[in-house]
Every structure is written in C-alpha cells, then in structure tokens.
C-alpha cells in the first residue's frame, strides 16, 4: 500500500446560488473572477472540507438529506468543479452516482452497454469479452430485452444493467451513492457480493448511504457531514453515533 492518499481534499468548498436569476448576471460571471463576495442567495453545500483517503480504504459518508453528501461524491468524481480549495484523485474513478445514468433511451441495451462502458474507459476488446458477463449479471429479464431500446426497460432493469457495467470497470476508486436502496432483494444480494469482491481486490470505496447495515458491513471509516461541514472523521461507529445523536436530539 502506498503512503500517498488516493483521494485528497483540501479546504474543499462549493457554492450554489439559491436564486438562479442572480447567477445570470453576466457581469458577475465575467468580472469578479470567482471572487468570494458574500451575496444574498449564496449558500455553501460544503465548505472547508479536508480529508485524505488512503488506497484500499472503505469510507462511508453519513448525514441527513441535503447536507451535501451527493455533492461531495460528485466533486470526487470530477463532475462538479469546486469554487474553493482542491480535490485530487490519484487514479480513475468508477462513479455509481445515478444507476441508470448515461443510458440513451433511444439506443438498445447492447448499444448502451458499449457506449457507457467505453465512455468509462473500457476498451472494445474488454467490452466484447465481458459483454456476456455483464448481461448475465443483470439478469434474465435484461438479457431477453438486450436488443430493445432502453426506454422500454423498467427502472429496475436499467439499474441492474447500469450496475453490471460499472462493476466491470477496473478503476481503483469506486463511488457509490445509495444504490443498495434500489433493486429487489435478489439483485441486492448480488450487489453486496460484488462490492465485497471489489473491496477484497483492494479498491477504494466511498459509499453514501442511510442504511446502517450497509455502512457497517462495508465501511471501516465514517465521515459525518452536517450542514456542509465535516463534523466527524473517524470509525463508522463514531460517525453513526454522531448522526444518530443529532437525529434523536
């Protein structure tokens, strides 16, 4: 295990604008170059976050709704750009931010697997070799419909196929946002098994979940985020206790 953190956040902060009209002011956008003028309607879903995640760690992100957990995951995935501070990832990221994401409804399941897989960096050869495995994992229903357009799929089917593709990626960092909540029991078991296999391979996991069982099952470390601030960075137990303490109070 290398001593360099695989994910490194320094004073991370991102600002959203509550009143969208304000954002439309071109003058603000071009003249104040990212200046931090406090403006009415601004709010910071996350601010002053610093943490290091080492390779192979499994980190659970805990917090109430709307405290910036998903925003954090998007920042790590690189699909949001921070307004303050920096986030560095040393390695490719396999994001499971939205399970069926990236599927074009007009394309068939087969075409979508190829598109999304290659957008995530899978080579043609790998995709061809793994294709059957991906479809197999997604289940019989999906296999029967693999050549029909995705818009005819049920949301469960899209989720299954989406997870199957992501699970085949060899990226060292895995980001998972509330996936365990979807899919039926059967599929959830498959997901659990896959996650455990990936962790055993030494991947780094960042998991957002409200499910204590999932968190304690996979994670060794917990980040408890409240009102955009990192309040607890410790074991999952400590983070969960802080979260539960707040919810009970």
Chain residues binding another protein by CB under 8 A are 14, 16, 20, 23-24, 29-30, 34, 74, 77-83, 93, 95, 97-98, 101-104, 106-107, 111, 114-115, 118-120
Interior angle at CA 33, CA 27 and CA 36, nearest 5: 100
Give the Cα separation of 204 and 120 in Å (integer): 17
113 phi/psi in degrees, rounded to 5: -60, -40
16 phi/psi in degrees, rounded to 5: -110, 160
Smaller CB separation from another protein, 77 or 135: 77
Among 65, 64, 59, 67, smallest CA distance to 9 is for: 59
Smaller CB separation from another protein, 180 or 240: 180
Minimum distance from CB of 218 to another protein (Å)? 21
Smaller CB separation from another protein, 136 or 147: 147
94 phi/psi in degrees, rounded to 5: -105, 100
Smaller CB separation from another protein, 114 or 221: 114
Minimum distance from CB of 178 to another protein (Å)? 14
Q: Which residues are CB-contacts of 68 (< 8 A; sequence separation ≥ 6)?
A: 45, 46, 225, 228
Minimum distance from CB of 86 to another protein (Å)? 13
242 phi/psi in degrees, rounded to 5: -65, -40
Smaller CB separation from another protein, 118 or 244: 118
Minimum distance from CB of 8 to another protein (Å)? 17
Minimum distance from CB of 140 to another protein (Å)? 26
């Amino acid at each position: 295990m290398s001593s360099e953190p695989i994910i490194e956040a320094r004073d991370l902060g991102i600002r959203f604008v509550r009143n969208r009209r304000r954002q439309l002011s071109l003058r603000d956008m071009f003249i104040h170059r990212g200046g931090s003028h406090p403006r009415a309607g601004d709010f910071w879903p996350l601010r002053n976050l610093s943490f290091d995640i080492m390779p192979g760690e499994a980190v659970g992100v805990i917090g109430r709704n709307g405290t910036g957990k998903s925003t954090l995951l998007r920042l790590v995935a690189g699909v949001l750009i921070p307004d303050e501070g920096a986030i560095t990832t040393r390695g490719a990221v396999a994001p499971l931010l939205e399970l069926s994401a990236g599927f074009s409804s007009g394309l068939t399941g087969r075409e979508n697997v190829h598109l999304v897989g290659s957008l995530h960096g899978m080579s043609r050869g790998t995709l061809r070799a793994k294709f059957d495995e991906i479809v197999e994992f997604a289940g019989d229903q999906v296999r029967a419909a693999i050549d029909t357009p995705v818009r005819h799929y049920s949301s469960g089917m899209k989720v299954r196929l989406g997870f199957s593709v992501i699970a085949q990626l060899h990226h060292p960092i895995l980001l998972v946002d509330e996936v365990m909540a979807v899919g039926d029991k059967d599929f959830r078991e498959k997901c659990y098994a896959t996650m455990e296999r990936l962790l055993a391979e030494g991947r780094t996991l960042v998991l957002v979940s409200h499910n204590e069982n999932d968190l304690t099952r996979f994670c060794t470390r917990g980040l408890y985020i409240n009102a955009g601030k990192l309040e607890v960075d410790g074991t999952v137990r400590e983070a969960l206790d802080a979260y539960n303490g707040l919810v009970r109070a």
